[in-house]
Structure 1
């Protein structure tokens, strides 16, 4: 989340972080979050996840985890300074705002047959479950389970690798066994396929 542009990526001091706690969620989107994630949550750079149309409950949980420094993988840790001062009201307002945006746009050019097979069928012989069994056939997610349809492939690859290599996402324990069985090539394939979900035929 790009509160970091003001409070993490720059040399802003502790007082600046505290001052931001008085902002409304909408003001934070306009002045802070949009700088990395885009005003409607359609981030242009795969360094930052698309948030448009993301599940509200999932966003609230992740913002809460950032606030409590529970998402401390290397890439996330770079952008976490200042989240300590997020209020519950801001978390709710931010999650509500981004969840109400039009769902993230798909990348119609990254079709991947292997990824489609893994997403829809899993890899039974390796113990990899069907991605769609939790994330939905269309990648829409549900409640605490994130929308993956249209997400940047590069971002999805990084997150899958985090789940493979660390115990720093306690909410995602159910993903760990499946992810450990994914090869790097399969990880890239399924991420590319998820990026196409939601594309118009």
Structure 2
């Protein structure tokens, strides 16, 4: 574990270095629903206490906050995230399904490759144990923009074949199994993620679902949804 702590510290301190680009991309098959379900079932049970220790020893807290609540516009909040989604995310980084060309993602590849299945399950349990918090720097939407974002979340847009966000992410952004929680997410991270799916730079979603759903969203709609979810307190 001491070696892993040194690795994490070195990675976080390497500004501007294209870490993933120096290694060959692992050859991982895209997820099918069946393969992902079997992989999640085969993962060990996670332990919250061990997960917190790993979160601290691997210096995850340097970017993602003390309990997974991001202190920065540059990194995702992980607190309140579903266990299965965090596991999937870490496996995608580790195995090459998520291989994005920017520094934060490249650091995550190295961190994930330093962790075994038990450690991944443990940190996933730790993040899931911490409640969602409202992102403090989200901007207030105008009544019109809030209403439009709310319609997209609850009803989608039949004319553009846009599925309601709530059908997968929950009415209150709480997530569901491998579908991530969106409530309290950092708006800049939300926008970056949506643009990555929209531009086919991120391809780790099962059946390319997010790439399809984001295709016809405008920049203004993505921004409004980012602010909507960032300020949303998850309901019980």
TM-score scaled by length of structure 1: 0.83
Question: Quick check: 1:104 aligned with 2:130?
Answer: no
Match of 1:91 among 113, 120, 128: 120
Q: What is the rounded CA distance, in whole Å, between the counterparts of 2:105 and 2:80 in structure 1?
A: 24
Q: Hey, which bits of structure 1, 4+ residues long, moved more than 6 A? A: none
List runs of 5+ in structure 2 lacking aligned partners. Answer: 15-49
Q: What is the rounded CA distance, in whole Å, between the counterparts of 2:98 and 2:110 in structure 1?
A: 12
Pairwise CA distance, 1:69: 2.7
Which residue of structure 2 aligns with residue 113 of structure 1?
147
Pairwise CA distance, 1:129: 1.1
Contact persistence 2:92–2:204 (CA under 8 A):
no
How many matched pairs?
A: 186
Q: How does 1:29-108 map to 2 (within 5 A)?
A: 29-31=55-57, 32-75=59-102, 76-79=104-107, 80-107=109-136
Q: What is the rounded CA distance, in whole Å, between the counterparts of 1:77 and 1:34 in structure 2?
A: 16
Q: What is the rounded CA distance, in whole Å, between the counterparts of 1:188 and 1:56 in structure 2?
A: 27
Q: Could you say if the C-alpha distance between residues 9 and 164 of structure 1 is closer, same or farther in structure 2, counting changes exceeding 3 Å?
A: same
Match of 2:193 among 159, 165, 170: 159
Which residue of structure 2 aligns with residue 16 of structure 1?
none
Q: What is the rounded CA distance, in whole Å, between the counterparts of 1:183 and 1:198 in structure 2?
A: 25
Q: What is the rounded CA distance, in whole Å, between the counterparts of 2:148 and 2:198 in structure 1?
A: 20
Deviations 1:25-57 (A, max 9, x none): 432212301111011111111211111110001
Pairwise CA distance, 1:131: 0.5
Q: What is the rounded CA distance, in whole Å, between the counterparts of 2:61 and 2:127 in structure 1?
A: 11
Contact persistence 2:173–2:234 (CA under 8 A):
no
Secondary structure of the corresponding residue to residue 92 of structure 2: helix
List runs of 5+ in structure 1 lacking aligned partners. Answer: 12-23
Secondary structure of the corresponding residue to residue 133 of structure 1: helix
Pairwise CA distance, 1:10: 2.7
TM-score scaled by length of structure 2: 0.71
Secondary structure of the corresponding residue to residue 119 of structure 2: helix
Q: What is the rounded CA distance, in whole Å, between the counterparts of 2:74 and 2:178 in structure 1?
A: 22
- For the aligned residues, what is the CA RMSD? 2.2
